[in-house]
Each structure stands twice: as C-alpha cells, then as structure tokens.
Amino acid sequence: MGDIVRLEEKQRSTPGAPGVESPDNEIAALGRRDPKRGLALLVAKYRRPLFRHAYHMLRNAEEAYETVQEVFLRAYREKRLFNDGFHIKGWLYRVTANLCLKQIRSRRVRSVFASRKQAEPPPPNDLLPVTQAIEGETREEIMAAIDKLPPRFRSLIVLRYYDGFSYKEIADTLSMPIGSVMSGLSRARDKLRKMLADKLQLEDFSS
Amino acid sequence: MKTCQELRNAIGPFVEGDLAPADAEIVAEHIEECADCQAIERDYRALAELLSPAPHAPSRDEDPAWRRFDAELAERLHHEDTRRHGLRIPVPLAAAAAILLLFTGGLSLRSIRKNSQLVEDNARLAEALIQIQSQRNVLGLDSTRRIIPVQRVNNVLRPMAASESTDGEPQAGDTARDPFQPKGLKLSDAETLATVSFTPQPVTTPATARRAKKKPVEIRLINYEGVTEPGLY
C-alpha cells in the first residue's frame, strides 16, 4: 500500500516530464539538460519504426538490427541532436536511409567476390509487426517486387508507404527536391504496377 | 493546359489525397477524359491498398529482443564514452611506442601496458555492468552510478586514483578517486556501492577475449553526491 501511495506522489510530482510518447521538441528540451536520458527516450521511441524501415530496405533482420544500432551511436555523437529547431526525426530517418543504401551498395561489391546468395534468416518475430494486413503469398510477392526496385526507388516506396511520410518529409529525409520525389515515386509505382499486374487486376476485381 | 505525361506524376498524390483541391480538380478532369490515365489511377488505387502498412502490435518493450537491443546499445555507448575520455592510446603515442618497442624490446613500456590494461578492465567492467543492468531493463534508468577506471590487484578490480603510480595492495583507508570525475560532482563516499561477482563472458575485442579468465571478479561502483538523474554511465 505504502508503495502505491509513494508511486502516485512521484507521478504527480513530475506532471510534465517527457516520456516515450512525447513530441520530439519536448524530448530535446530534456536532452539539453540530460543528454543520456534524452537519448534513452529517443531510442525507446524510434528503435521500432527505424528497424521497420531498415528491415524493409534490407530484408535482413540482422543487418537491420546493426544498422539501427549504428544510427543511435551516431545520434549519440551528433552534437546538434538536441539543439532547438533540429529536426530529430528527419535526421534519424536520413541516417537510417543512407546507411541502408550504403549497406546495399557494399553487398554488391561483396557479391562480386562471393556470388553465392546466403539464405536469409527469418526475421525475429518480436521485432516485426505481429499482424500483417495482407496474407502470406501476396505479401511475399509484394516484398519481392519491392526488392527488385533500384535502391533509391525502394527508399521512396518504403518511406511513403511503410513509414507514412509526406512528400515534403521524404524530400527532407533524402535531401531531394520535392519534384524529384514525385517523379521518382511515379516511376517506382509504374515499375511495381508492371511487376504486380496480376495482383492489381485481382485487387481491382475484388473491389 | 498540361499534357497527359505532365499530369501522370500527379496521379499518385491524387490517389493518396495529397493534392491541393485545385490541383486535384485538374487531375480528376483529365482522368475523366483519358483512358490511359484511368487505368493508371485504377492500378494505383489497388497498389496503395496492397502497400498499406500492416497494423502494428502494441509496443512491447519488454520483448527479449528489444532488451538485447538496449543492452547492446548501452554497451556500445559506454565504449564510446571510454574512447572519448581518452583511455585509448593516442595515435602518435602508439606510433612512438611501436618505434620504441623495436629498439628496447618493450622493456620500458610499463605505463603504456598499464594503460591498455586499464582499457581492458574498463571493457570488462562495462560488460559486467551491462549484465547487471540488463536484468533491470536498462537503458540504465536507475543510475547514480558511473564506472570509474580500475586496476586489477590480486584479481580484484579496484578503483584507480589519478596519481597512482605503483601497483600495490589496497591500503587501509584508501580513498577511491576518480580521475575523470565530472566537474562539480563530489563523490558521496569511497565505499563501494555494489560488489558483484561475475564470470567474464566472451568479449568483443580479441585482446580482451584472449585474456578473459573464467574467474569471478569483484566489480565496484562509485556513487556521486546529488546525481539522481538516470543516465547511461
């Protein structure tokens, strides 16, 4: 009983303390006073969505895991992280997106030396969404189609559809003009449209 | 009047409801008249449906995989701190040491060896701390603690004072001092905050991995006065 009372008092005593759900500017304000606590909150808030992004880009859970670790390590080194007006979310996604693209490039270089394709380990279930909107086979086909896109286009599709970014946010994240985002997405959609022609007809028929 | 090709880039944003009303009207009018663009619009709607992200399970931070993620990150951040605090041997010094080693056979390198021993001990200490903390769902939300440099005396890791120059037995009344003590913070006392036995796990650097022995080691943590905010020390 006594413990419960103390806990309630403690919660009351810090009514405005930022938590995982707080907007980035509140976390930043805390981060300026206590960088480690600020970073801990950012980790708790963003590790999941960043992992999801990295996983959709890389389609390899281990690589995605390492990528997100590296992102937070870089965040720790980033001096401006908690500065007023610093766009934390955009920065985190930009670093993640760039590291993924770099990783894909380095795979190509490696594949010149070792061309055998390694069997992809199944993703750890607890890191990925539990419920999937689309069932097995279709989802696999969509994933395979996205995998076939050139990495830049894949970035655009993942940011737009899986991370739910606006055109403006994508432009900021990938440091591209918004016009290029639009035309890039348009070309990416066209490629997917061709690859998934059967599925799209089916989808259309059912609706 | 925009051409069909020019409008095509706008069909995606149109389907997803991202266009300003005036622009959306232009695109809608064009789609009415153009069979090709109608087909594209239809397919894009289907595509948006297929690509809609899966609903997410509620955040389950107690998942073991995320605990592993946090613990590993905490460890990496700690190594980063150790590096920042200058415990690594600076490059020019290392180069000088290498040259010296060539001529002396390493006889006069006590201090450098001691330094690398220190790095090694800190790595092991950090690792032990992470093990301890990970049991408490870390990102170290309970810490008035900071790892201080240590040295090993009779297989016990002991806080090392800045001015310490010889390896000796711990003296009675020996006060732990922290050469990297943050400005404005006072050690609350020299007593150990916790003494934990652990068996070193395989560690990341080859040097430490080689030297890790399967003996329990005592870990000592130091308390700071007035530090109540949690952090990753």
Q: Among candidates B71, B87, B100, B105, which has minimal Cα distance to B151?
A: B87
Which among B50, B52, B140 has CB closest to A199?
Answer: B50
Any CB–CB contact under 8 A between A189 and chain B?
yes
pLDDT greater at residue B125 or residue A152:
A152
Contact B186/B225 with Cβ under 8 angstroms? yes
Smallest CA–CA distance, residue A81 to chain B, in Å, is 15
For residue A204 the two structure tokens come to 């259309």
Confidence tier at B23 by pLDDT (50, 70, 90): confident
pLDDT at A179 over 70: yes
Q: Which chain B residues contact residue A121 at CB under 8 A?
A: none
Q: Tell me the per-residue pLDDT of B73-130, one tens digit each, with 9 for 90 and over.
A: 888 888 877 766 544 445 555 555 455 444 444 333 444 444 444 455 555 555 555 5
CB contact under 8 A, B140 and A40: yes
- Please count the other Cβ atoms lying within 10 Å of the Cβ belonging to residue B93: 12
What chain A residue is nearest to B233 in terms of C-alpha separation?
Answer: A36
What are the angstrom distances between the C-alpha of B177 and each of A130, B47, B52, B133, B166? 50, 64, 58, 23, 15
The radius of gyration computed from the CA coordinates of chain A, to the nearest angstrom, equals 20
pLDDT greater at residue A12 or residue A185:
A185
Contact B124/B203 with Cβ under 8 angstroms? yes
CB contact under 8 A, B69 and A69: yes
Residues within 8 A of A (CB atoms), B 22-61 only: 40, 42-57, 59-61
Any CB–CB contact under 8 A between A195 and chain B?
no
Q: Tell me the per-residue pLDDT of A136-149, one tens digit each, with 9 for 90 and over.
A: 667 778 888 888 89
Amino acid found at A82: F
Any CB–CB contact under 8 A between B215 and chain A?
no
What chain B residue is nearest to A146 in terms of C-alpha separation?
Answer: B51
Amino acid found at A124: P
Which among B50, B140, B141 has CB closest to A196?
Answer: B50
Exposed, middle or buried: residue B17 (CB in 10 Å: 0-12, 13-18, 19+)? Answer: exposed
Mutation for testing the B interface, residue in A168, A203, A205, A206 having most B CBs under 10 Å: A203
Q: Tell me the per-residue pLDDT of B47-80, one tens digit each, with 9 for 90 and over.
A: 888 777 655 444 455 567 778 888 888 888 888 7
Contact B225/B190 with Cβ under 8 angstroms? no
pLDDT at B197 over 80: no
The radius of gyration computed from the CA coordinates of chain B, to the nearest angstrom, equals 30
What global pTM score does this model have?
0.57
CB contact under 8 A, A37 and B230: yes
Give the model's pLDDT for residue B109. 40
Q: What is the mean pLDDT of chain A?
A: 78
Any CB–CB contact under 8 A between A145 and chain B?
no
Give me the mean pLDDT over the A120-124 stretch: 50
Give me the mean pLDDT over the A89-109 stretch: 89
Any CB–CB contact under 8 A between A180 and chain B?
no
Q: Tell me the per-residue pLDDT of B122-161, one tens digit each, with 9 for 90 and over.
A: 555 555 555 554 444 333 333 334 444 444 444 444 544 4
Sign of CA dihedral B178, B183, B187, B193: negative
What are the angstrom distances between the C-alpha of B232 and each of A84, B76, B187? 23, 11, 18
CB contact under 8 A, B76 and A193: no
Q: Which chain A residues contact residue B8 at CB under 8 A?
A: 186
Q: Tell me the per-residue pLDDT of B155-186, one tens digit each, with 9 for 90 and over.
A: 444 544 433 333 333 343 344 444 444 455 55
Q: Which chain A residues contact residue B231 at CB under 8 A?
A: 34, 36-37, 40
CB contact under 8 A, B73 and A72: yes
The lowest-confidence range among A152-156, B25-29, B89-93, B113-117 is: B113-117
